[in-house]
Chains A and B, each alone.
Chain A
């Protein structure tokens, strides 16, 4: 099991509010959090993708996670609310500033495209309204194979009773469609009071139909695998390994990266595949 993470804290310009949210998250036991910047692209308005604020500007000092001796890690995440497929421009350089990329589809066609084509890490499902489409097994299975995760945010359930009904109903149908695999549970907290501890979230997941194991994975292992997935997405689309051949030019070979594990599979005659050391990002 890996450390507990909350990959959706809503960004607000109020510095003291962000400080309080991150302090609360560290107090509750989350070792990593991601600040979420929401962006709704459209061709007409010509808006630019927001750039993430550096952590030093966001808060004064990173608090120590309760019960451990390391400070909390703060990452940046971008959520694109899509209403048309043409709005999504893949491999934009601005996306590289963010550690995690999420997309929120609003129609069935977009959901299908997000599961099968789009190069993202998380598919965020709007919890606060009745979904206009149903989850179909086929695109969901493709998304699972690609290593994407489906996100469920629980804060709406805390705020309002009607939202609670919608959240639970949507979450239950999502869990049924993906059979409990690759479900990411996060808050979309705007205030520190809306955060809940990791074990409370695990208990809450039982309402959504997730088993104990799956619930624990949704706040720990799946978050970690998503960060690895984002790293491979940002990296070059291949692995280059060189082998010196006695004074001749070094031979270069490209090999496709495996999405799920992030390790390159080299071709013949290259250095054998080795387990790479845990990088800073995914510690």
Chain B
């Protein structure tokens, strides 16, 4: 069976989101899932949770008759985040911190060179360590491929065995204080929205507060897929993603004969837009709940009159995140009827 000429595997056909996997390379598959936000079985939130830390989200609104001031406000309402310097890792085990109220990741650490740490909103502390550090720490972890070069230690801080005073907690605490006293810069944000959750840490270490940066760009005469002749869902996913990426990166899609810089073009059939289009961008520490808020606001926005025929959201995760190689970004295309189509890369099993 082929989908736009490429070999595919249809994963689920019955009631529920329709998922199509298209082969990108020998190690990666492009997963295209179409469903509706109103559908009870939709797995959008599960997919968003797979990328817990994101640094950038871009929204493209083609043929938009009205300025998206409401969306702008939503983006500006995202929580601020804190850069804490020289934070020792054992502080993340602090009981006063409140398990699950704070989440964040280490900053300026490379996943394939240094030791990295991630504190997820569900209370999991993940450490990605090189061989020496893993052997020094002495806590059981899993080896990543390639073997014996990188190890991941994952600890559930909400588990009863990790309560302060228990032997497992003591072992990890003594490991992080005496055997492997790591100190890193951390980007932290309150997972529940309560800024006081971070107070115990901020009072002891050097920190700086940052708010997400929001920018809005107006695009005139944007060449985009023609809504009158063809539904966006019938376009080849690779061509569509390529064109979306080109628009967001401000690359010309004219494909002029005398231009040697770019041969990217809008997928056919395309037409030039008579109205203005908007490209909103927000940069900061974005959590899955922020993205979900944005998606809900967008679906309301698309219901209004003079709204664009569709909206595309691209979310980029931090490159030095765990599971980074395949899925460090995803694209979500939203339609006025609460339908959506999610494109993300997954490792080929």
Contact = CB atoms under 8 A, between A and B. Distances in A.
Question: Are these two chains actual partners, yes or no?
Answer: yes
A220 B132 contact: no
B185 interface: yes
A103 to B, nearest CB: 29
Most chain B CB atoms below 10 A, which of A1, A67, A213, A275: A1
Contact of B113 (A69, A213, A220, A278): A220
B281 interface: no
A1 B116 CA distance: 12
A278 B132 contact: yes
Contacts of A275: 135-136
A3 B130 CA distance: 10
A244 interface: no
B149 to A, nearest CB: 5
Contacts of B95: none
Interface in A211-241: 213, 216, 220-221
Contacts, number: 27
A278 B114 CA distance: 14
Q: Classify the interface of chain A: helix, strand, loop or mixed.
A: loop
Nearest to B133: A278
B249 to A, nearest CB: 20
Contacts of B110: 67-68
Given A68-B108, A69-B108, A278-B132, A3 B113 contact: yes
Interface residues of A, number: 14
B146 interface: yes
A75 to B, nearest CB: 18
A216 B136 CA distance: 23
A4 B110 CA distance: 11
B188 to A, nearest CB: 17
9 pairs of A and B residues whose beta carbons are closest in the complex = A3-B113, A213-B146, A69-B108, A1-B149, A1-B112, A68-B108, A67-B110, A1-B130, A1-B150
Interface of B: 108-110, 112-114, 130, 132, 135-136, 146, 149-150, 185
Interface of A: 1-4, 31, 67-69, 213, 216, 220-221, 275, 278
